[in-house]
Amino acid sequence: MHRLTRQIRFSVDPFGNEGDAEGFNSYCSKPAGHGLGFFICLNVELQGSVQADTGFLINLAEIDAKARTEAVNIYKKRIQQMISAGKNVTLEKNAEILMECWEGLRRSFNPQKLSSLEQLVNPYKKITISGDSNMLLYSEKFEFAATHKLWNENFSEHKNFEQFGKCANPQGHGHNYVVEITAEPENWKDFDRFDFQKKVKKLFIDKLDHKNLSKDLEYYKQHNPTVENITVHCWQTLSGKLKGARLESVRIWENDRAYCTYRGEQE
pLDDT, tens digit (0-9, with 9 covering 90-100), for 56-103: 999 999 999 999 999 999 999 999 999 999 999 999 999 999 999 999
243 pLDDT exceeds 70?
A: yes
Structure-model confidence comparison of residues 234 and 169, the more confident one = 234
**pLDDT tens-digit map of 141-160:** 999 999 998 888 889 888 87
d(CA 171, CA 157): 14
d(CA 143, CA 40): 24
Per the confidence metrics, is the pTM higher than 0.85? yes
**Is residue 155 one of the residues assigned to a domain?**
yes
Nearest C-alpha neighbor of 204 from the set 168, 166, 175, 231: 231
Is residue 144 domain-shared with residue 109, that is, in the same domain?
Answer: no
Is residue 159 domain-shared with residue 72, that is, in the same domain?
Answer: no
Q: Which domain holds residue 54?
A: 2-131
Model pLDDT, residue 18: 62
pLDDT range class, residue 45, cuts 50, 70, 90: very high
Please state the length of the chain.
Answer: 267
Which of residues 62, 97, 131 is at a domain's end?
131
Is residue 37 domain-shared with residue 143, that is, in the same domain?
Answer: no
CATH of the domain at 45: 3.30.479.10
**Is residue 267 one of the residues assigned to a domain?**
no
**Is residue 21 one of the residues assigned to a domain?**
yes
254 as an active site residue: the answer is yes
20 pLDDT exceeds 80?
A: no
Contact yes or no for 170/236 (Cβ under 8 A): no
Nearest C-alpha neighbor of 255 from the set 145, 95, 107: 145
Is residue 113 domain-shared with residue 143, that is, in the same domain?
Answer: no
Is residue 14 domain-shared with residue 113, that is, in the same domain?
Answer: yes
Which of residues 97, 116, 131 is at a domain's end?
131
**Is residue 79 one of the residues assigned to a domain?**
yes
CA angle 8, 11, 14 (to 5 degrees): 140
Is residue 16 domain-shared with residue 122, that is, in the same domain?
Answer: yes
**Options 2, 92, 103, 210, the catalytic residue:** 210
143 as an active site residue: the answer is no
Which of residues 99, 131, 163 is at a domain's end?
131
Q: How many domains does the chain have?
A: 2
d(CA 154, CA 149): 15
Is residue 59 domain-shared with residue 141, that is, in the same domain?
Answer: no
267 pLDDT exceeds 70?
A: no
Mean pLDDT, range 219-242, rounded to an integer = 95
Is residue 202 domain-shared with residue 230, that is, in the same domain?
Answer: yes
Is residue 170 domain-shared with residue 251, that is, in the same domain?
Answer: yes
d(CA 13, CA 28): 16
Model pLDDT, residue 132: 66
Is residue 97 domain-shared with residue 153, that is, in the same domain?
Answer: no
Mean pLDDT, range 126-134, rounded to an integer = 84
Provide the mean pLDDT of the chain. 92
Is residue 253 domain-shared with residue 157, that is, in the same domain?
Answer: yes
**Options 45, 70, 140, 254, the catalytic residue:** 254
Half-sphere exposure of 37 (CA within 13 A, CB side): 26
**Options 34, 167, 223, 228, the catalytic residue:** 167
Is residue 186 domain-shared with residue 228, that is, in the same domain?
Answer: yes
35 pLDDT exceeds 90?
A: no
Neighbouring CB atoms inside 10 A of 203's CB total 14
